Amino acid sequence: DGGITQSPKYLFRKEGQNVTLSCEQNLNHDAMYWYRQDPGQGLRLIYYSQIVNDFQKGDIAEGYSVSREKKESFPLTVTSAQKNPTAFYLCASSILAMGTGELFFGEGSRLTVL
């Protein structure tokens, strides 16, 4: 089955540590996205990528980094510079198609800082 796989589903981190969240898709989609979800705030865009080896900052990119070395993969690193990293992180992909394509989401990764 085609889809998006995020791992790990749950992750605990000590303050000062970097962590990397994995996102893999086999939908052959060009565009991939990372969103952060906090209660009552909806989804906020962290980074997005429309083509391999290229990515753009979203609205809350500070303290995060990404790479897009393969079309299928778009890992997100939460660095120690992120002041409040505890959140639910969602990866998504879409076809570009002039912006009309809907987003396909993974099941999310819940990061808790101890």
* From 11, 27, 43, 52, residue interacting with other proteins (rule: CB under 8 A): 43
Cβ neighbors of 69 (< 8 A, separation 6 or more) are 52, 53
Q: Does 110 bind other proteins (CB under 8 A)?
A: yes
- Residues between 49 and 68 that touch other proteins (CB under 8 A): 50, 56, 58
Query: Is residue 34 within 8 Å of residue 78, measured between CB atoms?
Result: no
* From 42, 53, 83, 84, residue interacting with other proteins (rule: CB under 8 A): 42
Minimum CB–partner distance for residue 17 and other proteins (Å): 23
Name which of 91 and 113 has its Cβ closer to other proteins: 91
* From 90, 93, 111, 113, residue interacting with other proteins (rule: CB under 8 A): 90
Residues that bind other proteins (CB under 8 A): 4, 6, 31, 33, 35, 40-43, 45, 48, 50, 56, 58, 88, 90, 92, 94, 96, 99-100, 102-108, 110
